[in-house]
Chains A and B, each alone.
Chain A
Amino acid sequence: MLKDNLTQDRDRHVVSNIDQEIVMYDNTIVRNFSIAAAVWGIIGMIVGLTAALQLVFPALNFSEITTFGRIRPLHTNAVIFAFVGNGIFAGIYYSLQRLCKTRMYSDALSNINFWGWQLIILSAVITLPLGITSSKEYAELEWPIDIAITGIWVVFGWNMFATILKRREKHMYVAIWFYIATFVTVAVLHIVNSFGLPVSFMKSYSWYAGVQDALVQWWYGHNAVAFFLTTPYLGLMYYFVPKAANRPVYSYRLSIIHFWALIFIYIWAGPHHLLYTALPDWAQSLGVVFSIMLIAPSWGGMLNGLLTLRGAWDKVREDVVLKFMVVALTAYGMATFEGPMLSLKNVNAIAHFTDWVVAHVHVGGLGWNGFLTFGMLYWLFPKMYRTELWSKKLANFHFWIGTLGIIFYALPMYWAGFTQSLMWKEFTADGFLAYPNFLETVTQIKPMYLLRAFGGGLFIVGALAMCYNLYMTAKKGSFLANEPSQVPAIKEEKHDAKEHWHRAIEKRPTQLLIFSLIVILIGGLVEMVPTFLVKSNVPTIASVKPYTPLELEGRDLYIKEGCNNCHTQMIRPFRSETERYGEYSKAGEFVYDHPFLWGSKRTGPDLHREGGKYPDSWHYNHMLDPESMSPGSIMPAYPWMITRKLDTDNLEAKISAMRKLGVPYPEGYEDKALADLQTQAVGISDNLAQSGIRVTSDKEIIAMIAYLQRLGIDIKGESNE
Chain B
Amino acid sequence: MSVIFILILISLLVAGTFLAAFLWAMKSGQFDDEFTPSVRMLFDDEKPSKQQSNSHK
Contacts and interface: CB of A to CB of B under 8 A. Distances in A.
A164 B5 CA distance: 34
Interface in A527-550: 527, 529-530, 533-538
Interface in A77-132: 98-99, 101
Interface string A171-208: 11110010011001100100010000000000000001
A526 B6 contact: yes
Interface residues of B, number: 44
Interface residues of A, number: 74
A636 B10 CA distance: 41
A248 B28 contact: no
A480 interface: yes
Contacts of B6: 526-527, 529-530, 533
A534 B2 contact: yes
24 contacts: A5-B42, A6-B44, A9-B44, A98-B41, A98-B45, A171-B30, A171-B37, A180-B21, A192-B10, A208-B3, A212-B1, A246-B42, A248-B39, A248-B41, A484-B55, A486-B47, A487-B46, A500-B27, A523-B10, A526-B13, A527-B6, A529-B6, A533-B3, A536-B1
Given A171-B33, A184-B17, A529-B6, A538 B45 contact: no
Interface string B3-19: 11111011101110111
Interface of A: 2, 5-6, 8-10, 12-13, 20, 22, 24, 98-99, 101, 169, 171-174, 177, 180-181, 184-185, 188, 192, 208, 211-212, 215-216, 219, 239, 242-243, 246-249, 252-253, 256, 260, 263-264, 267-268, 270, 280, 283, 480, 482-487, 500, 502-503, 519, 522-523, 526-527, 529-530, 533-538, 587
A264 B22 CA distance: 11
Interface of B: 1-7, 9-11, 13-15, 17-19, 21-22, 24-25, 27-28, 30-31, 33-48, 52-53, 55-56
B38 A530 contact: no
B2 A537 contact: yes
Nearest to A214: B3
A99 B44 CA distance: 10
Contacts of A169: 40
A99 B41 contact: yes
A9 B17 contact: no
B3 A534 contact: yes
Given A171-B30, A171-B33, A280-B4, A242 B41 contact: yes
